[in-house]
């Protein structure tokens, strides 16, 4: 299941499963994810109302396996189509797609404010600001002044690459 994040992998697994019950232990065995990660993702699906918790399997404590979890919640699949469609959209790995949107808007405008990019992309202003700081540290954009509350930015490169530059935040 390479190319998918953990949430998408579990969604794909549940989508293929026959029956309506999903057990944490079963998901852990199929994916080899730890208990905490599996629970977190299944609770995310519960919040989106794809799953409903129906009970809990409690394993008795054994002296030789103190580190193993004792509780294994059981969920019922309510909206299988929702989970199956969830595999097609990004989870937390959507950062690249968001940055692609921002980069495309920057290339179109060339001289812009943060508000301009927000209006074009519907991306939160703090996310745009973080990305602009990364681009500024890489000398791809520069600050040219202010318009009211917003800073004016300009694309520095004469012929910007069509593909978004793959930059990481400076630590």
How wide is the angle at C-alpha 53 spanned by C-alphas 52 and 55, nearest 5°?
145
pTM of the model: 0.47
Mean pLDDT across 129-152: 87
As annotated, the residues of the chain forming the CATH 1.10.10.10 domain(s) are 6-86, 94-155
Dump the DSSP string for 58-105: EPPP-TT-TTS-SEEEEEEES-HHHHHHHTTS-SGGGHHHHHHHHHHH
- CATH fit for domain 94-155, picks 1.20.810.10, 1.10.10.10, 1.10.150.120, 1.20.20.10: 1.10.10.10
The predicted-structure confidence for 29-84, as pLDDT tens digits, reads as follows: 888 888 888 888 888 888 888 888 888 776 655 555 555 556 778 888 888 788 87
CATH code for the domain defined by 6-86: 1.10.10.10
Report helix angle 125-137 to 95-109, nearest 10.
70
């Amino acid at each position: 299941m390479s190319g998918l994040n953990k949430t998408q992998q579990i969604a794909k697994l549940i989508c293929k499963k026959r029956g309506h019950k999903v057990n944490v232990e079963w998901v852990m065995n199929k994916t080899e994810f730890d208990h905490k990660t599996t629970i977190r993702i299944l609770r995310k699906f519960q919040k989106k109302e794809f799953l409903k918790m129906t009970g809990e399997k409690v394993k008795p404590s054994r002296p030789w396996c103190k580190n193993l979890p004792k509780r294994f919640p059981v969920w019922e699949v309510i909206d299988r189509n929702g989970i199956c469609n969830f595999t097609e959209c990004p989870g937390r790995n959507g950062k690249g797609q968001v940055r692609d949107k921002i980069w495309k808007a920057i290339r179109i405008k060339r001289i812009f404010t943060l508000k301009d990019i927000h209006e074009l992309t519907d991306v939160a202003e703090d996310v745009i600001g973080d990305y602009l700081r990364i681009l500024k540290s890489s000398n791809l954009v520069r600050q040219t002044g202010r318009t009211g509350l917003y800073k004016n930015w300009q694309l520095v490169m004469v012929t910007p690459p069509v593909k978004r530059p793959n930059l990481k935040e400076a630590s």
